[in-house]
Chain A
């Protein structure tokens, strides 16, 4: 490649970079931030911001294994909000202590209010779920359970 050709390519690249810089400086900073956030989120399509709900249940000893509790929670959500929200909330029991009647449930954080509201239907199925706390990590959820 000729030296002149190389210099012309370099000048095109540099002018492109300077044009983008000028646009960013002239335009509103919030617009740029929003565009960046959108770009970052676009990469995470299909993933959700998970949250961990530490719960206690009553009566003690009602559930013997993880699957049983998970099935009961799914039926509670299904009863309150239907299959569309059940797919969105997607509750999964990640920790289960049958002795202390405690558990940690992983769910989609976007549906926090819906999930908590649906727990009111648990009394119709013969048990009660008491939320102890919601956290972003499993470790802190376990800390809340004590």
Chain B
């Protein structure tokens, strides 16, 4: 689960989450708790900027996610091994088409969607999310639903998120559960090693 504030770690435990990744965490805080990972989110619109941003970023217990803002960056980032997930927001959702899905499938790169983005989306934007997520599911791209919460009110119980995803995407419980637990856990175990 992607959190934007370290104070939410206690709330995560109360809600039943076992492992969390927190944005803006220094290495000292990350090493204190074995179940807390550091997360770095890079927003980029050019490959050269992204290359310089990614240099030396990857460390132990650090999850690197990229928010691509154009097609070139989205395609390039799909085959970069330093990047753990590609984030889809309402701003860049148009980039995730069939071609992007096939590249992500080929390199086994997960697509990350923050739950706060889905909840805060307008009607048109939400329809776009559903369409693109269904495309990714049909192309067997691993999907991660992260919380993206910066406050306690935005941070929901996993059962609530699970039910919401089941209803929104019309998928079965097992598929929705994989988006919340199995797929993120795979990324975190890869990062820990």
The answer to whether A113 touches B163 (Cβ under 8 A) is: yes
Q: How many residues of B contact A (CB 8 A)?
A: 19
B43 within 8 A of A: no
Main secondary structure of the interface of B (DSSP, over half): helix
The answer to whether A114 touches B160 (Cβ under 8 A) is: no
Do A114 and B153 contact each other (CB < 8 Å), given the known contacts A131-B159, A131-B160? no
The answer to whether A117 touches B157 (Cβ under 8 A) is: no
The answer to whether A119 touches B152 (Cβ under 8 A) is: no
A32 within 8 A of B: no
The answer to whether A117 touches B154 (Cβ under 8 A) is: no
Do A117 and B153 contact each other (CB < 8 Å), given the known contacts A123-B119, A130-B15? no
The answer to whether B159 touches A120 (Cβ under 8 A) is: no
Chain B proximity of A22: nearest CB distance (Å): 42
The answer to whether A113 touches B157 (Cβ under 8 A) is: no
B14 to chain A: which residues have CB within 8 Å? 130
Using a CB-CB cutoff of 8 Å, which residues 116-139 of chain A contact chain B? 116-117, 119-121, 123-124, 126-131
Which of B153, B160, B166, B167 has its CB near the most chain A CB atoms (within 10 A)?
B160
A-B pairs with beta carbons under 8 Å apart, 27 shown: A112-B163, A113-B166, A113-B167, A114-B167, A116-B159, A116-B160, A116-B162, A116-B163, A117-B160, A117-B163, A117-B164, A117-B166, A119-B157, A119-B163, A120-B115, A120-B119, A120-B156, A120-B160, A120-B164, A123-B119, A123-B153, A124-B119, A126-B153, A127-B153, A128-B155, A130-B157, A131-B160
